[in-house]
Amino acid sequence: MVRLRKRYVDGRFGQVHLRVAEPERPTARPIVCLHQSPLSSRTYETFMREMAQDRIVVAIDTPGYGESDPPPKPVATIAEYAAGHGEVIDALGFGAVDMVGTHTGTRMAVELAIQRPKQVQHLVFVGCSAYTPAEREKQRAWNEDSFKTTENSKGEHLQVTWNNWAQFRWPGVTDAMIDRYISDCLRDRARATWALAAVFAHDLMQRLPLVEQPTLVFNVQDDIYEATKRAGALLKRGRIVDMSPAGLWLLEVKTREVAAMVREFLAQPA
The predicted pLDDT at position 113 comes to 98
The predicted pLDDT at position 153 comes to 83
Residue 111 has pLDDT above 90, yes or no: yes
4 pLDDT tier (thresholds 50, 70, 90): very high
Full-model pTM: 0.97
In three-state secondary structure terms, 56 is coil
Mean pLDDT score, 75-95: 97
C-alpha torsion 106→111→117→118, nearest 10? -70
Strand partners, 124: 100, 216
Mean pLDDT score, 186-210: 94
Contact 86, 16 (CB under 8 A): no
The predicted pLDDT at position 149 comes to 80
184 pLDDT tier (thresholds 50, 70, 90): very high
CATH class, domain 4-265, is alpha beta
Mean pLDDT score, 240-250: 96
Residue 6 has pLDDT above 90, yes or no: yes
Mean pLDDT score, 47-72: 97
Buried b (16+ CB within 10 A) or exposed e, 173-187: beeebbebbbebbee
The predicted pLDDT at position 69 comes to 97
Mean pLDDT of the chain: 95
- Cα angle 122, 130, 75; round to 5: 80
Dump pLDDT digits (tens) for 251-267: 999 999 999 999 999 99
Dump pLDDT digits (tens) for 118-153: 999 999 999 999 999 999 999 999 988 888 888 888
- Let me know if 66 is exposed, middle or buried by CB neighbors in 10 A (0-12, 13-18, 19+): buried
The predicted pLDDT at position 151 comes to 82
Rounded to an integer, what distance in angstroms lies between the CA atom of residue 242 and that of residue 240?
A: 6
Name the phi and psi angles at 116, rounded to 5: -130, 65
- Percent of the chain clearing pLDDT 70 (strictly above): 100
